[in-house]
């Protein structure tokens, strides 16, 4: 999670909402990282999770990220939750809850919807205070 927090700081320094993510291999090695780049790229889909998932798939040469873990500082939104399900990530670890747009247990629970063909394990609250503080500081300073 500390690496994801470093990624989030990169987003903030570029003027984007500080969310950072990384994908871990089944052995725990970092395959790919990402941070929000919506402001930098003008791409509404450039969320940290989507970018990390895309980069991991490219690094592995495979769209299925079976056995992999996605670590992210903020609970994923519905778009990112859909990408998680579609990429077959086995585990999602996140820090701060997102009561306004969270789709991994807060507002919705897309990734554990029994109607879908893949449901990853979810671990929440990892370094939650540090993740939330980074977001709070960013919006307070704006």
Q: Which member of 7, 37, 39, 49 is catalytic?
A: 49
CA distance 47 to 137: 19
DSSP class of residue 22 equals E
Establish whether 99 is a catalytic residue: no
Cα–Cα distances in Å, from 102 out to 24, 30, 46, 61?
22, 24, 17, 29
**Helix boundaries (H) for the chain:** 2-13, 38-41, 48-60, 78-87, 128-141
Q: Which residues are catalytic?
A: 49
């Amino acid at each position: 999670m500390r690496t994801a927090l470093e990624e989030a700081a990169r987003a903030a320094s570029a003027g984007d909402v500080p969310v950072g993510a990384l994908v871990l291999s089944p052995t725990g090695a970092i395959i790919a990282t990402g941070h929000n780049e919506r402001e930098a790229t003008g791409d509404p889909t450039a969320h940290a999770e989507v970018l990390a998932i895309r980069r991991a798939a490219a690094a592995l040469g495979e769209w299925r990220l079976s056995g992999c873990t996605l670590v992210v500082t903020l609970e994923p939104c519905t778009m990112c939750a859909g990408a998680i399900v579609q990429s077959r990530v086995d585990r999602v670890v996140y820090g701060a809850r997102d009561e306004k747009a969270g789709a991994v247990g807060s507002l919705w629970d897309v990734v554990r919807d029994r109607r879908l063909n893949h449901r990853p394990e979810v671990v929440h609250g990892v370094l939650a205070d540090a993740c939330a503080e980074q977001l709070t500081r960013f919006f307070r300073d704006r």
